[in-house]
Structure 1
């Protein structure tokens, strides 16, 4: 059986050495190069034509997402696996959109790394268990716009214009007490406790 030829890319030498030591006992894996920058990675891949690149996302000279995209576009048969501490859905999504075949966290065992490389070599995707759970989490619900009465909308607009409760009362021929009641109701509907937060949120939701 041909061994899986691997290039390791991480900005920390100690991490690279640790990975090399972890993978060394695996007969199926041959670490052909270690790189600390994107530039080194491009050179190594061009020269050695590996099967897999284990790629950290944080690199000193270029973002790992961009590196992944360039590698997979230049070498369509190359499999890139993100190997990172970043367990965030946005990073996983961006790496996969830019050509990554897998996403593995740095707490992975040598056996898991081998399984990941086997899987991507077979044309499949591989995610660490924690990453799978992250991807299965439902997307946050789109916030509902607060339902305001016509009067509340009028008062909200005047609050945004910087008018005081007394000035709003004079403008709308209401009592100050009535205006204050409307103001409290509006704050409650938006789930905020002060005027600055109210105006910011109302502007974000294009109500102003």
Structure 2
């Protein structure tokens, strides 16, 4: 099994889902969940400039500081962080605002294990990941912002 070299911050307010996803990520051996946060402010409190995660898995709908505000804050303060949205939200207006905030991908919470892994590996490698039909929304927006 490969060493856990990809550090992930997992930001989601629903504890059972967050714990299950953290266990799944750790089980694979390619990822290490170094931060679990319930909202954006919780994530910000836990970030350490000398030991940042490689990737942030970020829910959109959370109390206190939602995913959009968190993505904007991260883009301003830590633009090198790769952000993958993990949500059931697929409203084109929200997706456009997330794209403006620098997120590199989106995967549905209902996605298969394989799709989640494809998204994680793609974003970790510095590429974008948007599944159909989200990809169509992204392409239309990039053509006509």
TM value normalised by structure 2: 0.83
Is 1:66 matched with 2:69? yes
Alignment of 1:154-173 (within 5 A): none
What SS does the aligned partner of 2:79 have?
Answer: coil
In the alignment, is the contact (CA less than 8 A) between 1:7 and 1:44 conserved in 2? no
Deviations 1:164-183 (A, max 9, x none): xxxxxxxxxxxxxxxxxxxx
- Tell me how far apart the structure 1 counterparts of residues 92 and 125 of structure 2 sit (CA, whole Å): 25
Residue ranges of structure 1 left out of the alignment (5+ in a row): 139-208
What SS does the aligned partner of 2:28 have?
Answer: coil
Q: If each structure's helix is expressed as a fraction of its own residues, which one has the higher value? A: 1
Q: 1:89 aligns with which of 89, 92, 97?
A: 92
Q: 1:101 aligns with which of 92, 101, 104?
A: 104
What CA RMSD, in Å, does the superposition of the two structures yield over aligned residues? 2.1
When the two structures are aligned, how many residues end up with a matched partner? 138
Higher relative contact order (CA 8 A, sep 6+): 2
In the alignment, is the contact (CA less than 8 A) between 2:9 and 2:37 conserved in 1? yes
Q: If each structure's strand is expressed as a fraction of its own residues, which one has the higher value? A: 2
Match of 2:16? 14
In the alignment, is the contact (CA less than 8 A) between 2:40 and 2:69 conserved in 1? no
- Tell me how far apart the structure 2 counterparts of residues 44 and 9 of structure 1 sit (CA, whole Å): 11
Q: 1:52 aligns with which of 51, 55, 59?
A: 55
Match of 2:135? 132
Residue ranges of structure 2 left out of the alignment (5+ in a row): none
